[in-house]
């Protein structure tokens, strides 16, 4: 029996996987990845993401407007996001956040969208799923301002930002999610940031179809490969793989309480 582990963030609706969902879920189960959260990044695609979650026992879903789409998609409303949360397998708000690497020109729209998603996370008590790239100062400021106004829970998905942003997130009680980036040979700085985090505040993910860990780097990623990143995570924390898998699964259940229920 493989230790069971959770892929806390993937995109099963992306064209890379078209028609292969059953095979992906089966291969994941063989690798011990028995649960996963598939993320909708444009609200107009909600129905197809929801349908994938409904088709497989171990697949849950979340939805939001990805920051890179904040300027070219209709602005999400709090009411719209809260209504989605009525679905029994809808477990998180997002992904949302800030991305100034490719889309800095839409920073104002991204910030407005982020604050709307935060309010939806507050109202639903579901975790906020944050994407942050090249925007650490604004991200730390907004997350802190909003948390001071009224609390909410959050995971920093695919964390590969600075130690400052990691510390800000952890001090607010948030979680950091480890992706294939943490398994890349040149990512020692990212591994060091994770090593300084409490192990009970760490999740693992693929962000599939992106960021495949070694030995699949450069190829299409898929949920089964969560195990490869988690083995690196186990080394970072000096744990047996089975213990790290159990710990990150317990962390997932605590944060994504609706999936645990």
pLDDT digits (tens, 9 = 90+) for 99-156: 999 999 999 999 999 999 999 999 999 999 999 999 999 999 999 999 999 999 999 9
Q: CA dihedral defined by 122, 125, 129, 135, rounded to 10 degrees? A: 20
**Mean pLDDT of the 247-261 span:** 96
The whole domain housing 222 covers 5-260
Q: Are strands 90-99 and 175-178 parallel, antiparallel or unpaired?
A: unpaired
Runs of H (alpha helix) within the chain: 21-30, 46-55, 78-84, 100-103, 107-124, 136-149, 163-171, 188-195, 226-237, 241-255, 257-260
CA angle 20, 57, 228 (to 5 degrees): 60
Distance CA 225, CA 208 (A): 9
Least confident of 84-88, 178-182, 188-192, 257-261: 257-261
Contact yes or no for 172/222 (Cβ under 8 A) = no
Burial class (CB in 10 A: 0-12, 13-18, 19+), 214: middle
Q: Measured between alpha carbons, how far is 205 from 132 in angstroms, rounded to an integer? A: 15
- Residue 214's pLDDT band, with cuts at 50, 70 and 90, is very high
How many distinct structural domains can be found in the chain?
1
The predicted model gives 149-171 an average pLDDT of: 98
- Mean pLDDT score of the chain: 97
Pick left, alpha or beta for residue 83 (phi over 0 → left; psi -120 to 50 → alpha; otherwise beta). Answer: alpha
The percent of residues above 90 in pLDDT, for the chain, comes to 98
CATH of the domain at 109: 3.20.20.140
3-state secondary structure of 13: coil
Summarize the confidence of residues 183-207 as an average pLDDT.
Answer: 98
> Checking DSSP bridges between strand 5-10 and strand 33-40, what pairing results, if any?
parallel
With H, G, I as helix, E, B as strand and everything else as coil, classify residue 131: strand
Task: Please tell me the predicted confidence (pLDDT) of residue 261.
Answer: 80
Q: Is 134 left (phi over 0), alpha (psi -120 to 50) or beta?
A: left
């Amino acid at each position: 029996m493989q230790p069971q582990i959770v892929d806390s963030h993937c995109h099963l609706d992306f064209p890379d996987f078209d028609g292969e969902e059953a095979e992906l879920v089966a291969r994941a189960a063989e690798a011990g990845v028995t649960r996963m959260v598939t993320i909708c990044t444009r609200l107009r695609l909600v129905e197809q993401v929801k349908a994938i979650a409904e088709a497989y026992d171990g697949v849950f879903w979340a939805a939001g407007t990805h920051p890179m789409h904040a300027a070219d998609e209709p602005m999400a409303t709090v009411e719209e996001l809260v209504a989605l949360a009525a679905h029994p397998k809808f477990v998180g708000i997002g992904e949302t956040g800030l991305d100034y690497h490719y889309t800095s020109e839409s920073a104002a729209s991204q910030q407005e969208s982020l604050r709307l998603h935060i309010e939806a996370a507050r109202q639903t008590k579901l975790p906020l799923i944050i994407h942050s790239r090249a925007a650490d100062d604004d991200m730390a400021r907004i997350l802190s301002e909003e948390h001071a106004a009224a609390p909410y829970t959050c995971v920093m998905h695919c964390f590969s930002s600075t130690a400052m942003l990691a510390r800000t997130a952890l001090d607010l009680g948030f979680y950091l999610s480890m992706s294939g980036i943490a398994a890349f040979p040149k990512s020692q700085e990212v591994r060091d940031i994770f090593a300084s985090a409490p192990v009970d505040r760490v999740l693992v993910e693929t962000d599939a179809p992106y960021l495949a860990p070694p030995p699949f780097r450069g190829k299409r990623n898929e949920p089964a490969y969560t195990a490869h990143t988690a083995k690196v995570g186990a080394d970072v924390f000096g744990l047996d793989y089975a213990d790290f898998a159990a710990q990150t699964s317990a962390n997932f259940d605590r944060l994504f309480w609706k999936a645990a229920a």
